Amino acid sequence: MPSLPNIRFRIQRSADRWGPRRLLVLDFGPNATSTVVFTRNQKQIRWDKAVFLPAADRDLAFKGDDLRGVLAAHGLHSDYVSVIYGGPGIGIRLLSFPGVPGTPEAITQQVAQALGVDAHATSVVHQLVHRSGEQEKAPEYAVLAASMPRPLVMGIRGMVEGAGLTPVSLVTPGIAAANLTRAFPSLLEATGVTAFLDINAAGSILLIYRGTDLVLARHFRFGSEQIIQALQTGTNLDRETAAKLFLSGSFDFSANVVRTVDPWLHQVAISLDFLERRYGSPVKKLFLFGEGARSKVLERMLDERVQCSVMQWLPLEEESVTPPPPKSADPLDAFTAAAGEACRIMKAGLTDAV
């Protein structure tokens, strides 16, 4: 996101001209803050730590002094930080425009107008994700755009700087998922269609690629919290127990939540079918991310509804990434977004990526 300072990485010994050699990533969720620390040398990225920290409240009252103390208590040390934030006021859309891309300033103005936001009150970021100019078609281009209230951006910046950290990036969950394809292009099928579904507590985002082009982005106001509430109601359990069952995989709760989940599953399925019909190419893989991706029951429900392989992905599977220490007590699939954002930033420092 904009409004972050220009960073001179070489002014600190923990960085070089490619960026930080040690990076902390905070993925703020409604129930917890998924936190990772990654380090790198010239050949490899190392997953150093993965822990859950307390969640920030809805006003982000996780002040710098508090954050500094929490990080120190968990042995989380870094000069640099990246943030993923998906709370209230966040927007993400895939926008198409006729013609050829103009200057970055012109695209920013087009995006702000299309989103209908006040550029002075809202921070908007965008990345060009697709362009076409075939002989038989008029030129057009598409951008993936995210918006965040400017006071929120400044609040996050103030919080991390108050904790003595230098902010490197600030992204929304959907942008973090899209960024994975930049860090790990092998995730995409070169001649097929690949989908990503980021399932968080308050909502979910479906991204679909044709080859390397992002061709669809849908934001659903449906997430894991609605499923947990339905499970709680259907089983007369307290919320804490329902949340544990949702993640455990030891109890098939699908019959208890099918009425709540079915409309969302239907929308995901018809989105995939639409792209298959449009491009005449089947969706080969659907990657799951976010809190909801940790539920094996929900993964099975998706697998039964869509006509493609449903799977999770971890940066551990990449040759350039060293696994974390065995002592990590938390399930690593809870940290996929944070780990992916760390790898995206740190891959620039590997000699084979320069």
CATH number assigned to the domain comprising residue 212: 3.30.420.40
Is the pLDDT at 129 greater than 60? The verdict is yes
Do 167 and 200 sit in the same domain of this protein? Answer: no
Q: Which tens digit of pLDDT belongs to each residue from 222-262?
A: 988 999 999 999 888 898 899 888 988 778 899 999 999 99
Is the pLDDT at 5 greater than 50? The verdict is no
Cβ atoms of 4 and 10 closer than 8 Å: no
Do 231 and 246 sit in the same domain of this protein? Answer: yes
Do 305 and 224 sit in the same domain of this protein? Answer: yes
CA dihedral 187, 282, 272, 192 (to 10 degrees): 30
Coil, strand or helix: which one is 42? coil
Do 326 and 262 sit in the same domain of this protein? Answer: no
Residue by residue, DSSP assigns 254-318 as HHHHHHHHHHHHHHHHHHHHHHHHHHT--EEEEEEESGGGG-HHHHHHHHHHSSSEEEE--GGGS
Q: What is the pLDDT of residue 134?
A: 53
- Residue 260, domain member (yes or no): yes
pLDDT band of residue 4 (cuts 50, 70, 90) is: very low
Q: Which tens digit of pLDDT belongs to each residue from 157-187?
A: 888 888 899 999 888 888 888 888 877 888 8
Report the 3 state secondary structure along 59-97. CCCCCHHHHHHHHHHCCCCCCEEEEEECCCCCEEEEEEE
Average pLDDT over residues 276-300: 87
- Residue 143, domain member (yes or no): no
Do 175 and 194 sit in the same domain of this protein? Answer: no
Average pLDDT over residues 199-227: 88
Do 83 and 168 sit in the same domain of this protein? Answer: yes
- Residue 131, domain member (yes or no): no
Closest to 33 in 3D by CA, of 51, 53, 48 = 53
Cβ atoms of 200 and 29 closer than 8 Å: yes
Q: What is the pLDDT of residue 197?
A: 92
Task: Please report where in the chains the tokens 């921070």 appear, as a residue.
Answer: 123
Is the pLDDT at 267 greater than 90? The verdict is yes
Do 201 and 281 sit in the same domain of this protein? Answer: yes
Average pLDDT over residues 339-345: 88
- Residue 32, domain member (yes or no): yes
Do 162 and 16 sit in the same domain of this protein? Answer: yes
How many domains does the chain divide into? 2
Q: What is the pLDDT of residue 353?
A: 35
Q: Rounded to 5 degrees, what are φ and ψ at 12?
A: -120, 145
Range of the domain at 349: 1-89+149-184+318-354
- Residue 73, domain member (yes or no): yes
Please, is 65 exposed, middle or buried when counting C-beta atoms within 10 Å of its C-beta (0-12, 13-18, 19+)? exposed
Do 193 and 163 sit in the same domain of this protein? Answer: no
Average pLDDT over residues 69-74: 88
